Amino acid sequence: MFPLATGQFGALPLMPVQAMTQQATRHARRVYVGGLSPTANEQSVATFFSQVMAAIGGNTAGPGDAVVNVYINHEKKFAFVEMRSVEEASNAMALDGIIFEGAPVKVRRPSDYNPSLAATLGPSQPSPNLNLAAVGLSPGSAGGLEGPDRIFVGGLPYYFTEVQIRELLESFGPLRGFDLVKDRETGNSKGYAFCVYQDLSVTDIACAALNGIKMGDKTLTVRRANQGATQPRPEQENILQHAQQQIALQRLILQPQGVPTKVVCLTQALSEDDLRDDEEYEDIVEDMKQEGGKHGVLVNVVIPRPNPNGEPLPGVGKVFLEYSDVEGSRKAQAAMNGRKFGENQVIAVFYPENKFAQGEYDA
C-alpha cells in the first residue's frame, strides 16, 4: 500500500471508530485503474488523480487531495486508487479513458465492489455536473457504467457502429454511460455493449422493448447486467409503446436495405404539405438533385405530388433517385440512409427497377 504521509498530504490520523468506518467503505472508495505505463508509480498516480479530480470539480469531501492511498501491481500494470469518500470514488468513474503518461487508462470498479451495499453508502454514479472537458473528456463515453442499473446489450451485429448503437439506445433518453466492447487486437466490435441511462426510471422500459428484437441475422439480448429480464410497470406502458415505434424506425435505418438496384427510394423524407406549393416543390426537386448528384450520375429524380382533389396517390412523400449504375446507387443509399432532411430522418432503400420504369411507386 501507499500511505500518504500526514505532513505532505494533510491526512489526519484515524481514530478507531474512523478506521472501522474506512474499512467498511473501502470497497466503495477504491477504483481500479488499468493500462498504466511502466514508468507509473504510487506518487505519480496519486498526484495525477488528485489533480484531475480537483480540475473536474469531483472533490466533495472538503479541501485537500481526493486520493488517500495507491497500490500498484507493476507486473500487470494496474493500480487500486483509494479515495477519501464514496462520492469521490463514484465521480472518479467518469475518468475512464483519461490520458495518463501518454496513454488512455481504464477506470473501473474493483472486483470486490458490492453494488447493493455501496448504494447504502453514497452515490454510485458520477455527478452529472462534472467539468470533464477540463481534462479532455466528454460525458457519457464509457464512465459511470457500474451499479444495479447497468444494462447489458448483447447480440449486436458486428458491423454496427458506436454511433448507430447509441442512436438505437437513445430512443429512450440520453445515456449517462456507454461502452461498446471491442477486441484488443483488432479494435473490432465483439457484439456486445453496456450502458446506463441518465434517467434510471427508463432502464426496465428499454430492456423490455429491445430484448428479443431481430437485427439483421442477430437477436438482441438486453437486460440489467446483474439480473434477468424484468417487466415494465403498468404506468410505463405508454412510454414503452412509443419507444417500440422508435425502435421499428431505427431497425429500418440500421439493417441492410435489400438487393442493390439503380434506383434508391427515400422514405420518411417529405410530407404532403411540403409538396403542395409549386415553388417549394421546385426547390425540393433541386435540393434532391444536388444531394443525390454527390454520389453518382443521376438519370432521373421523381417526387410524386399529392392529387389536387385530395384523392390519395401512391408514392406521395417518397423520393426516387435513378442512377446510371449500381455503384452510384450503393453510395447514395449508404450515405443518405438515416440522414436528416429538414426535421425528418430518412430511410433509404433500393427500389425495383421494373416497377420504377412502369411508374409504380407504391411498392
- For residue 141, the model assigns a pLDDT of 43
- Give the pLDDT band of residue 6 (cuts 50, 70, 90): very low
Condensed to tens digits (0 to 9), the pLDDT of residues 97-154 reads: 788 887 778 888 888 888 778 878 888 888 888 888 787 765 544 444 556 778 888 8
- For residue 316, the model assigns a pLDDT of 83
**CA-to-CA separations, 347 to 89, 242, 248, in angstroms, rounded:** 44, 19, 12
* Close Cβ partners of 210 (under 8 Å, ≥ 6 residues apart): 153, 168, 169, 220, 222, 247
- For residue 230, the model assigns a pLDDT of 45
Condensed to tens digits (0 to 9), the pLDDT of residues 264-306 reads: 888 767 777 778 888 888 888 998 899 899 999 999 999 988 8
- For residue 226, the model assigns a pLDDT of 66
Condensed to tens digits (0 to 9), the pLDDT of residues 42-90 reads: 999 999 999 999 999 999 888 889 999 999 998 888 999 999 999 999 9
223 forms beta bridges with 152
Give the three-state DSSP class for 106: strand
Mean predicted lDDT score pLDDT of the chain: 78
Give first-to-last CA distance, the chain, whole Å.
Answer: 69
pTM of this prediction?
Answer: 0.39
Closest CA to 254 of 348, 356, 131: 348
Q: Is 301 exposed, middle or buried (0-12, 13-18, 19+ CB in 10 A)?
A: middle
The answer to whether residues 46 and 74 touch, using CB atoms and an 8 Å cutoff, is no
Structural domains in the chain plus CATH codes:
26-135 (3.30.70.330), 151-227 (3.30.70.330), 257-358 (3.30.70.330)
